[in-house]
Structure 1
Amino acid sequence: MALPQPLPELSPDFRHTWTLAHSECRYKLDMLSNAHFTPRPPLAGSSAEGLKVPSLKMEETIPLMVSDATLQAPEERRAPRRHVKDQAELTPDEKAAVRRTRKAARTKRLQDKVERGEMSLADRRARDAKLQEKNKAAKQEKGPLARPPRPTCCSNLRKLPLCR
């Protein structure tokens, strides 16, 4: 095996230029990393004495983790998270709640019309009476077969309150 040969002596000029190039390269790499970068302290001298600035100023680092909320548009943040159900998917209680909501909104709109003067109170009463007559006629037209007849005894396997 060959013995390692001693390194040749480098000239002081070459060593000086190499040191300057190496320190400049390290400085640029530190600037690029920015994760733990501390800026160089200002040079001590007559120019720094006149300025009343701190000798060392820390820079804020760029946040490594950013929340998803800052990346979303405002309408995406306010978007509903729940699934909007179709009319066929609603339970009977939910259907009744939807109907009550629509009915309350309709009543409020009619009341606002009366208050603004677009409809008189007599017109509103006439409208309500006409609707009641129309609903009554529709119920009579359907007749007693509109609803299935209620069992009077234990015709099915469940016990009804009438059979006790």
Structure 2
Amino acid sequence: MSDYCDHAPQHPYHGPYHDGEYGFAVAGDDELFERLILEINQAGLSWLTVLKKRAAFRAAFDEFRIERVAAYGAAERERLLDDAGIIRNRLKVDAAIHNAGVVRTLQADHGSFKAWLDAHHPQPLADWVRLFKRTFRFTGPEIVNEFLMSTGYLPGAHRDDCPVQARIRASRPPWMQMPCP
């Protein structure tokens, strides 16, 4: 992450994400779902590409409202695949729709997506990866690691000497509340 802490500040896209989102705990299920879908879409591409398309993703995926995305059918899938504003990868689009349905089930079973994450925290990354692979589509080790770091479940989003790290520590994200094994 050292390179990100060196190069992201002052950048028009990376800067705001680095300074105000990356590594901070996320409470809302729709925001957690957005982060998961953005991480999935980053696979094989640069994070800058995803950040530049973030507004288009929000519009295309109904602001990442889980209940709406979970209800998408063939027409919405084709609309997404025709939308040049987002990453038009059939596997990623299908994963987003499928994973929205999975999150709805997790919400029904655990009260929220966040409660499901909290129920499994803390655990080592390898266990998180196995859990995500059993639960979701298109979630390999790098996607799971970045999702968990970006939402405060795993440490490592920032260097210790990065000024943002002090703000993250002050907010007591999940990785600080219960040490990961």
Q: Which has the higher helix share?
A: 2
Structure with higher RCO (Cα < 8 A, 6+ apart): 2
The TM-score with structure 2 as length reference comes to 0.20
TM-score by length of 1: 0.21
User: Which is greater in Rg?
Assistant: 1
